[in-house]
Amino acid sequence: MVMSLLYIPCIASIGVIKAETNSWKWTGLAVGWSLLVGWASAVVIFQLGQLMT
């Protein structure tokens, strides 16, 4: 659930980032960063949950 809350949710968002920045570099950075933050947060929360059981 955490991952789905933090990553870029749709292709339209990616398209808007591309249109606003006019750069594939920044678009890729934004997508990569949000995926990394979502994944890392999900892993941390999962590991904390494992410690509590």
The structural domains of the chain, with segments of one domain joined by +, span 2-52
Contacts of 24 (CB under 8 A, 6+ apart): 18
> What are the counts of helices (DSSP H) followed by strands (DSSP E) for the chain?
3, 0
pLDDT in tens, 31-50: 999 999 999 999 999 999 99
Could you give the percent of the chain with pLDDT greater than 70?
Answer: 100
The span from the CA of 2 to the CA of 36, in Å, is 12
Q: Which pLDDT belongs to residue 6?
A: 86
Sign of the torsion formed by the C-alpha atoms of 8, 12, 18 and 21: negative
Q: What angle do CA 4, 35, 24 make, to 5 degrees?
A: 125
pLDDT tops 80 at residue 9: no
Q: Which pLDDT belongs to residue 4?
A: 87
* pLDDT confidence bin for 10, thresholds 50/70/90: confident
The average pLDDT across 8-27 equals 92
